[in-house]
Amino acid sequence: MRIEEFNALPGDEAEAALRACVAIDSWTHVLAVARPYGEPADLFATARAQAATWTPAEIEGALADHPRIGERPTGSGTAADHSRREQGGLDPADADLADRLRMGNLAYEEKFGRIYLARAKGRTGAELLALLEERLVNDPATELAVTKEQLAEIALLRLTDLLATESVSA
């Protein structure tokens, strides 16, 4: 949709569209009520600024909408569709990679108490595994900051998809 179409949506529809980008109510609400935006770059600036305010509890809550890296989402809807496309760089036939991701996901969850989240779009399975292994050495505070950064990248990429605007970089 074009920015003009986004601006014209009723508030609840705008928030629902934004929720498919990231399930953080404060983010969807602020972006919806700040309309109208003159151009997509204005929306993206607001989105970036609002993402910087996410709390640990908001980040943890938003992770519920994301499958583990290497697992396909089982749900339906826009968020699940995004996840399917974003993890398209993983080869489901690569049993060794799938096993290593599964073991890495378990180690990550045991250490940090949440799923491993990384921007998968544009990355191969091997890259995602290498990032997972690198991040396993982080302390909890550092890893929470990295998770927040990755969640924001995902949200901005999904916002780009929502607007179907190639002139705005996330």
Positions marked catalytic? 66
Residue 4 is encoded by which pair of tokens?
A: 């003009």
Sign of CA dihedral 20, 84, 153, 110: positive
Give ∠ CA 140-141-142 in degrees, rounded to 5.
Answer: 95
What is each CA distance from 141 to 40, 56, 146, in whole angstroms? 33, 10, 9
**Residue labelled with tokens 């929502």:** 162
User: Which among 132, 134, 129, 131 has a CA at the least distance from the CA of 94?
Assistant: 129
117: nearest Cα among 107, 131, 103, 127: 131
Instruction: Using alpha carbons only, give the angle 146, 149, 153 rounded to the nearest 5 degrees.
Output: 140
